[in-house]
Copies of this chain bind each other. A is one copy, B any other.
Amino acid sequence: MKTSFIISKDESLSRFVIIILMLENQSSEWIAALQKHGYRMSAALQVVVEVVATSPRVLSPIQAFDLARKKNAKIGLVTVYRTLEKLEELGLIQRVHQPSGCQGFIAANDGHQHLLICENCGLVEFFSGDRLDGLMSDVAGETGYNITGHWLQLFGLCRQCQVEIQYSNENQGD
């Protein structure tokens, strides 16, 4: 991992290095967790884990497969499915439900967090502090339900997609 030797005084570059290290770290943690649970380590598994662990965007199995193929041409789609299954079993990834479909996965964040998803590119931000307790107890009282969980997700456009869409509208006059 040569990136860990890069030393820079340029602020933007050092921030970049920190991000790289963080993502590499997440991959190794996942690999360690898989080994701890008795799974053997292979090149295929490693590549898929790296792709999924470092993606800031929601990935469908087929998207993960395509990205993994760019790094290692011999990977099969079945291996991607089996790896996603293992990662989900260990709680390292979570399935993402969207109006456009429910095949996506994203690295799971610790604690009870909600998702903000870019409808255009799938970029995900996590947030917490939903302040729903009052609402939930009101609804429980009114309906008699025993409420055991909730889903909260926000949808929108990330900064970059706002710019890109505005630009393409200006240039195509649509």
Contacts and interface: CB of A to CB of B under 8 A. Distances in A.
Interface string A102-125: 100000000000001011000001
A149 to B, nearest CB: 4
A121 to B, nearest CB: 11
Copies of this chain present in the complex amount to 2
A152 B153 CA distance: 7
Nearest to A152: B152
A135 interface: yes
Nearest to A101: B102
Q: How large is the interface on A (under 10, 10 to 19, 20 to 34, 35 or more residues)?
A: 35 or more
A145 B131 contact: no
A116 B131 contact: no
A156 interface: yes
Contact of A154 (B97, B149, B156): B149
20 contacts: A97-B151, A102-B102, A116-B139, A116-B145, A119-B148, A125-B145, A127-B143, A129-B135, A131-B131, A131-B134, A131-B135, A132-B152, A140-B156, A143-B158, A144-B159, A148-B157, A149-B154, A149-B156, A151-B152, A151-B153
Interface of A: 97, 102, 116, 118-119, 125, 127, 129-132, 134-136, 139-140, 142-159, 162
